[in-house]
Amino acid sequence: MSAYLPVQLAGETLWLLADKALYYPSQQTLLIADAHFGKAAAYRRLGQPVPHGTTDANLRRIDRLLADYPTEQLIFLGDLLHAPQSHAPATLAALAEWRQRHVALNICLIRGNHDNRAGDPPGYLRIKVVDAPLLLGPFALQHEPDPHPTHHVLAGHVHPVFTLKGRGRQRLRLPCFVLDEQVSLLPAFGEFTGGYGVQAQPRRRLFVAGDGGVWALES
Reported in sequence order, the residue ranges of 12-96 that DSSP labels E, i.e. its strands, are 12-17, 21-24, 29-32, 73-76
> Which residue would you say has higher pLDDT here, 73 or 170?
73
Answer yes or no: are the C-beta atoms of 41 and 86 closer than 8 Å.
yes
CA–CA separation, 143 vs 8, rounded Å? 21
pTM: 0.92
pLDDT in tens, 183-219: 999 999 987 667 888 999 999 999 999 889 999 997 6
Condensed to tens digits (0 to 9), the pLDDT of residues 133-148 reads 999 999 999 999 999 9
Range 4-216 has CATH code 2.60.40: no
Contact 73, 19 (CB under 8 A): no
* pLDDT recorded at residue 103: 96
- What is the percent of the chain with per-residue pLDDT over 90, rounded to a whole number? 70
Domain extent listing, the chain? 4-216
Residues 144-167 have pLDDT tens digits of 999 999 999 999 999 999 998 766
Reported as a single tens digit per residue, the pLDDT across 90-148 is 889 999 999 999 999 999 999 999 888 888 999 999 999 999 999 999 999 999 999 99
pLDDT band at 8 (very low <50, low <70, confident <90, very high): very high
- Pairing type for strands 139-141 and 152-155 reads parallel
